[in-house]
Amino acid sequence: MKKYHIENNTVQETLVIPLYGRKICADHFPDLFEDKEAERICASLDYDFSAKKKMMESPAGLFGALEVAQRHYDLLWEIRDYLKDNPEAAVVNLGCGLDDSFSKADNGYCRGYNIDLPDVIDIRNKILIAKDNEFNIASDLNDYRWMDKIDGSRGAVFFAAGVFYYLKKEEVRRLADTLAQRFPGAVLVFDACNKKGADMMRKTWLKEAGINDVSAYFSIENSDEIKDWSHHFESVSERSYMRGYRDIYKEVNFFHKLMIFFCDHFVRMRIIKIEFRKGER
């Protein structure tokens, strides 16, 4: 089988890192994480993972991989929960990268939409084969014409994994408000942290992505502020990133317990869900 080549220091490389983190978690915590698709995709790539393996298998690196895998679990939980009451809904992955959440959540009745920049969608089309009820849309999230392609007549769940950190807060607010107006009764779910967490990201992977002024980019001190973003929101809620959906605290070592405490109490890593008011579509 021909393998897809991944160049170092490119957008392609940033796309495979979350996948590899999930694979590492499945290797180290098989009772917590099973991710055969991440393993399959990584095996299909022409890329030297040795440096990433060494980094991710360090105590700190493994916790970073745990964060990625747990976020994947959390967002999948929210998607499946929404589909229980809205089985034919649209499942919309905002800034999808190579994420395969729709494939895992697909109940046979819903429809999946994966949205990302054209170069990312081009890579995705080569590595991940879309299902018959799945559609890849090449677009900037801030170009709202992509919304015209979403059939939300039977509900919609929008989700973003590690994406909003690249946007300014006003861009996230405007996006959420527009979605609430155009898709009544839908939900938006995403991960967030406070400014301390964003500052830490600036010194690591955001810096590598070329984003330096993180103070202008997305962070949330308290999810209560989101309630004032739009009168089209029905409710705003949050859960702990690492303990809110399933508590893995007892399953990890002492160092990782400390890191979970740090993430919960100092950088406020959590999953935020906005429910939109119902109304006429």
Q: Comparing 112 with 52, which gets the higher pLDDT?
A: 112
Q: Which of 50-64, 87-101, 118-132, 209-223 has the lowest mean pLDDT?
A: 209-223
Instruction: Report d(CA 186, CA 241) in Å as an integer.
Output: 22
DSSP string over 187-255 = EEEEEE--HHHHHHHHTTHHHHTT---GGGB---S-GGGGGGS-TTEEEEEEEETTTSSS--GGGS-HH
Domain ranges of the chain: 73-276
Q: Which of 68-77, 215-224, 231-240 has the lowest mean pLDDT?
A: 215-224
Main-chain dihedrals φ then ψ at residue 68, nearest 5 degrees: -60, -45
Q: How far is CA 34 from CA 30, 158, 184, in A?
A: 6, 24, 34
Average pLDDT value for the chain: 90
Average pLDDT of 191-209?
73
Does position 215 have pLDDT exceeding 90, yes or no?
Answer: no
Name the CATH topology of 73-276: Rossmann fold (3.40.50)
Report whether 212 contacts 202 (CB < 8 A): yes
The pLDDT tens digits for 263-278 are: 999 999 999 999 999 9
Instruction: Report d(CA 160, CA 207) in Å as an integer.
Output: 20
Average pLDDT of 104-109?
97
Residue 212: pLDDT band with limits 50, 70, 90 = low
Sheet of strand 187-192: strand arrangement: 134-138, 111-116, 90-94, 156-160, 187-192, 270-276, 233-240
